[in-house]
């Protein structure tokens, strides 16, 4: 590349001046990835390993690698946004927008590497596509990833998020975002001063309270559909539910399943969370975090940060059903979903059981009313029942059934876009 560059000291990145001499942006140096099923790909670094790209320039190498990942997962666009004054590093992913403009949360996290951040952006935006499709909403899948070490760099300020807001505004409504891991309504308020394409809570409860309540309800309805599929009745009466993580969502879920007649076993890294649950429900049993996955139970419900199930611990599971609020419950989604299916453990895909926020998004955009949310969340029961019917009929993991059902809807709707409607 002939553009002027600077030695930034930021790992594999180099800084490049825009052609008009204004803002800076960063270009990743040339490392490409090779699939694990390739003859050369025996490593312990997950699904990919870094290899030097043959006969290509440094920049071409990383571009090739990203395009390969996008093609493999069906992504439309991946944008890299950088504002050097505030060290804003944002990755914005668009997966599939056949059903409508993309929605996706803004996640701020101290990623170990840029590759990890890119992988998260691609993976989570893809999940949003299928979550939107399976719940019958008219959204596409998107995600905003912010790379920042808050401990080292300090808390991101107003200008940081306003800069992000201007980048989002540049997409002209193709992406609507909201608070996710590491961000909250304060940050969204800053973004909202630069773009209207942001969802902020406007009702009497706090965003986190209502979101947690709706998410917990969705998980409960997903559980009941799974129990109905296995036992013929949807009641949780007499069941043992092991909940990993009893923060805002997990604690509400504990209350919901106890009210439905279940017994709960809980674990959490924070003593205060455990104390609140046990004070309210003295019969709840507490186990150490390292023991929760191997607890004998009917339903295992991961409600902390995923992934939690890996190849090395999958054989220690002693549950009949896995249904939780955590994203990325499985470290290797396809392989472990197949293994759970073979072991006879019913895995409710996480992006279905935690789809409650999709209905909150509809409410915030005034597609449905506040009163309609609870009724909408109950649809998770029917959605999960349909998924399990396909799973049993075709003897495939429920996760694969989700992809089939959602992909069919996306493709059917996409074909209608060829009809001229008179709109420009």
| Catalytic positions | 143
For residue 402, give both structure tokens. Answer: 């989700």
The residues with which 136 forms a beta bridge, in sequence order, are: none
- Contact present, 311 and 332 (Cβ < 8 Å): yes
Residues 161, 172: Cα–Cα separation, whole Å: 17
Q: Which residues contact 113 (CB under 8 A, 6 or more apart)?
A: 11
Residues 376, 205: Cα–Cα separation, whole Å: 19
Beta strands at 240-244 and 263-267: parallel, antiparallel or unpaired: parallel
Residues 294, 324: Cα–Cα separation, whole Å: 16
Strand order in the sheet with 346-347: 285-286, 263-267, 240-244, 299-302, 321-322, 346-347
Beta strands at 5-6 and 13-17: parallel, antiparallel or unpaired: antiparallel
For residue 355, give both structure tokens. Answer: 């789809």
């Amino acid at each position: 590349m002939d553009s002027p560059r600077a030695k930034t000291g930021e790992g594999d990145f180099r800084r490049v001046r825009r052609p008009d001499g204004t803002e800076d942006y960063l270009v990743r140096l040339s490392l490409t990835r090779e699939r694990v099923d390739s003859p050369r790909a025996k490593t312990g670094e997950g699904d990919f390993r870094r290899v030097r790209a043959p006969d290509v320039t440094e920049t071409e190498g990383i571009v090739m690698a990203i395009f390969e990942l996008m093609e493999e997962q069906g992504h439309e666009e991946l944008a890299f946004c950088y504002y050097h004054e505030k060290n804003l590093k944002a990755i914005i992913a668009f997966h599939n927008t056949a059903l409508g403009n993309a929605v996706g949360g803004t996640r701020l996290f101290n990623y170990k590497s840029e590759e990890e951040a890119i992988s998260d952006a691609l993976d989570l935006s893809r999940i949003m596509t299928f979550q939107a499709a399976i719940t019958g909403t008219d959204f596409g899948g998107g995600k905003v990833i912010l790379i920042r070490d808050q401990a080292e760099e300090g808390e991101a300020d107003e200008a940081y998020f306003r800069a992000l807001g201007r980048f989002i505004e540049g997409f002209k409504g193709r992406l609507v975002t909201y608070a996710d891991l590491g961000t909250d309504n304060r940050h969204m308020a800053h973004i909202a001063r630069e773009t209207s394409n942001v969802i902020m809570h406007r009702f009497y409860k706090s965003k986190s309270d209502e979101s947690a309540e709706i998410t917990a309800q969705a998980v409960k309805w997903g559980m009941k559909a799974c129990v109905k599929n296995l036992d013929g009745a949807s009641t949780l009466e007499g069941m043992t539910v092991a909940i990993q993580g009893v923060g805002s969502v997990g604690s509400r879920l504990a209350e919901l399943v106890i009210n439905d007649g279940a017994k709960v076993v809980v674990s959490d890294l924070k003593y205060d969370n455990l104390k609140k649950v046990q004070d309210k429900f003295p019969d709840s049993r507490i186990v150490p975090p390292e023991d929760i996955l191997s607890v004998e139970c009917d339903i295992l419900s991961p409600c902390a940060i995923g992934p939690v199930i890996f190849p090395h611990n999958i054989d220690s599971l002693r549950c009949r059903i896995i249904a939780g609020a955590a994203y990325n419950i499985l470290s290797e989604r396809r392989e472990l979903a197949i293994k759970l299916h073979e072991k006879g453990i019913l895995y409710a895909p996480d992006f279905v059981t935690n789809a409650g926020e999709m209905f909150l998004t509809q409410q915030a955009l005034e597609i449905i009313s506040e009163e309609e949310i609870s009724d909408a969340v109950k649809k998770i029961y029917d959605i999960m029942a349909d998924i399990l019917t396909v799973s049993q009929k075709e003897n495939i993991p429920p996760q694969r059934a989700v992809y089939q059902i959602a992909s069919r809807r996306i493709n059917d709707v996409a074909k209608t876009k060829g009809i001229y409607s008179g709109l420009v």
